[in-house]
Amino acid sequence: MARPFLPALFAASLALLSSAGTVRAGESWFSGDWYLTVGAAAITAPRYEGARKHLFSVEPMISFGRAGPEARFSSRNDNISIGFFDTGAFRAGATGKIVMPRDEGDSPDLAGLDPVRFGAEVGGFVEVYPTDWLRLRGELRRGIRAHDGIVGDVAADAFIDVAPTVRISGGPRLSFATAEYFDAYYGVDAAESVASGLSVYEPGSGLRAVGAGGAVTWNATDKVTTSLFGEYSRLMGPAAASSLVNERGSRNQLMFGLSATYRFDFSL
């Protein structure tokens, strides 16, 4: 249960780095207004990508950085991002995420398969707001250490404030990847087939999943934010054709949870 804490620390570190560019001449790097957001999310999700069985976990949430303009819209699916260009209707920059290790300790289904190592994905993102209530976002990331593939995510989120403190959002999702990614997570070579009992499978590149997600966010106070969220995705292409999914897992992936955070504001 200690693994989910690492992405939280990574998120805090990148938030800190992304704020460095707002320091004014003559000020120390630490001068100015800062925020620290802490909380937790209770989540039920598949034990691994492609799993049939689910796992309940409680994950910490940490964000730390320099105070600035509030984003028009953000989703829990967004990876940590640093914007380099922002016109209001268009935003682009760098993005990254931590990739947690995966091995047979996560599920007996994975016994005999090569583990996925701890690593990261780094790349870029683009956001477009064609209207005041719709955001389109795309990310393209390259794996480091965990896998050598390229992964892309595309999402469209419509959002509406049904009350001054309550926002409902949701929309479709699409993901694709190259063969190197699928080989790390879904491939089964001859040696792994003997050790695991799964059929040999050599994946190519293609669509990974399609689905939809949504959330209801309530700003209980100016410091406390809670959210009820859910995501459904159906594995496609090389992922759906994998012997791991067909013989032990499921193409249908469902995740839902509840989160709460508290923001501390302070100046240095």
- Looking at residue 76, its pLDDT comes to 84
Q: Which stretches does DSSP call E strand in the chain?
A: 33-46, 54-66, 80-86, 90-99, 119-131, 134-144, 150-163, 166-177, 206-219, 224-235, 252-267
Cα 29 from chain centre: 29
Torsion sign across C-alpha atoms 254, 92, 90, 165:
positive
Question: 115, 78 in Cβ contact below 8 A?
Answer: no
With H, G, I as helix, E, B as strand and everything else as coil, classify residue 235. strand
Task: Round to whole Å and give the CA distance between 146 and 29.
Answer: 34
Cα 204 from chain centre: 23
Strands 90-99 and 80-86: antiparallel
- Looking at residue 26, its pLDDT comes to 52
Residue 98 class from Cβ within 10 Å (0-12 exposed, 13-18 middle, 19+ buried)? Answer: buried
- Looking at residue 12, its pLDDT comes to 45
- Looking at residue 66, its pLDDT comes to 66
Question: 230, 214 in Cβ contact below 8 A?
Answer: yes
First to last CA, the chain: 34
Domain ranges of the chain: 71-256
- Looking at residue 29, its pLDDT comes to 55
- Looking at residue 60, its pLDDT comes to 85
Strand ordering across the sheet containing 224-235: 54-66, 33-46, 252-267, 224-235, 206-219, 166-177, 150-163, 134-144, 119-131, 90-99, 80-86
pLDDT average per 10 residues of sequence, the chain (268 residues):
44 44 52 82 96 93 70 83 86 92 96 97 96 96 97 97 96 98 98 97 97 96 94 97 97 96 86
pTM of the model: 0.83
